[in-house]
């Protein structure tokens, strides 16, 4: 069931999402060559707690047999890692690496979710930068349809078509979602599909929309840790996500 947030709930969502936006602003300054993803995750946790938030991902149980609960504050995915990269001490960042960071902050009972792809050292190849830019723009293309009267499929369709027009692939096995008191709520929001399908959007819905884009073919693999998703062909991947609010008019991006 899709939840429609009350005005009080919307204010709480706005508050935690404002922290998410500030979190990424602060974290970007901490990403440096030579640090491990484990070290970056620890810095991320400290920033979250300084903002008065809890890292919502810690202890998250996917409910899949043999897959342990997630025990880190962020997912940090480097280069060909698409999503859910586990921070580890032996993964050292290098200049030019592209690093996708996905996290959920919890404050006063509500969750805020966003993902960003950064460049270590600030400069990477033209191909990698184009991938990052297209992934980000795919989000903004999709939310042109995040208005009352449109359907989830309209958002999904536009994201997928924009990515395809630019010569890239979207991940089909993972998708965006509703968000609020729970980290993952209905509806599911794929990054591809047919226009005119799915539920109608209504004011008060809060949604996490997140294009996950691959430079090469869409095929992915799951590593033995049960979490990390990588591209099958070793091509680069990028991730961009924001929590948005459906209003009477244009969507409101809460995590910027």
List pLDDT tens digits, range 130-173: 999 999 999 999 999 999 999 999 999 999 999 999 999 999 99
- What is the rounded distance in angstroms from the CA atom of residue 67 to the CA atom of residue 49? 27
Sign of CA dihedral 84, 96, 143, 230: negative
Lowest mean pLDDT among 59-63, 118-122, 174-178, 240-244: 59-63
Q: How many CA atoms within 13 Å lie on the side-chain side of 195?
A: 10
pLDDT at 137: 98
Taking the alpha carbons at both ends of the chain, their separation in whole angstroms is 27
pLDDT of residue 239: 98
Residues in the chain: 256
Instruction: Give the pLDDT score at 130.
Output: 98
Q: Give the pLDDT score at 46.
A: 98
Q: What is the pLDDT of residue 66?
A: 87
246/69 Cα distance (integer angstroms): 32
Average pLDDT over every residue of 218-225: 96
DSSP helix/strand/coil, 214:
strand
For the chain, give percent helix, strand, coil, nearest 5: 30, 25, 45
54 close to 87: Cβ distance less than 8 angstroms: no
| Spatial CB neighbours of 66, under 8 Å, sequence gap ≥ 6 | 226
Query: For position 190, what pLDDT does the model report?
Result: 98
pLDDT digits (tens, 9 = 90+) for 49-59: 999 999 999 99
What pLDDT score does 42 carry?
98
**Mean pLDDT taken over the chain:** 97
CB atoms < 10 A from the CB of 37, how many? 26
CB 186 within 8 A of CB 153: no
pLDDT band at 65 (very low <50, low <70, confident <90, very high): confident
For the segment 77-114, what is each residue's pLDDT rounded down to a tens digit?
999 999 999 999 999 999 999 999 999 999 999 999 99
* Cβ-contact 43, 6 below 8 angstroms: no
Continuous H helices in the chain: 7-28, 37-50, 126-142, 152-165
Report the distance separating Cα 130 and Cα 149, nearest Å. Answer: 33
CA distance 60 to 69: 5
Whether 97 contacts 119, CB under 8 Å: yes
Query: Domains in the chain, ordered, with CATH?
Result: 7-253 (3.90.230.10)
Question: Locate tokens 């979710």: which residue?
Answer: 113
């Amino acid at each position: 069931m899709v939840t429609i947030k009350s005005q009080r709930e919307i204010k709480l969502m706005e508050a935690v999402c404002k922290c998410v936006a500030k979190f990424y602003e602060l974290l970007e300054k901490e990403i440096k060559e030579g640090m491990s993803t484990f070290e970056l995750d620890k810095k991320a946790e400290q920033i979250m707690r300084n903002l008065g938030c809890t890292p919502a991902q810690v202890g998250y149980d996917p409910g899949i047999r043999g897959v342990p609960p997630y025990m880190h504050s962020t997912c940090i995915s480097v280069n060909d890692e698409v999503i859910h990269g586990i921070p580890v001490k032996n993964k050292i960042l290098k200049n030019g690496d592209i690093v996708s960071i996905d996290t959920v902050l919890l404050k006063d009972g509500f969750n805020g979710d966003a993902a960003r792809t950064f460049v270590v050292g600030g400069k990477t190849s033209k191909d990698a930068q184009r991938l990052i830019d297209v992934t980000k723009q795919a989000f903004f293309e999709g939310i042109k349809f995040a208005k009352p009267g449109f359907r989830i499929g309209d958002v999904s369709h536009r994201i997928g078509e924009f990515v395809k027009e630019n010569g890239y692939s979207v991940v089909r096995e993972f998708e965006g979602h509703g968000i609020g008191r729970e980290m993952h709520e209905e509806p599911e929001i794929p990054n591809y599909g047919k226009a005119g399908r799915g539920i109608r959007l209504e004011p008060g819905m809060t949604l996490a929309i997140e294009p996950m884009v691959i430079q090469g073919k869409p095929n992915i693999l799951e590593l033995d840790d049960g979490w990390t998703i990588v591209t099958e062909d070793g091509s680069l991947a990028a991730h961009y996500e924001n929590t948005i609010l459906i209003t009477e008019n244009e969507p409101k991006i809460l995590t910027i």
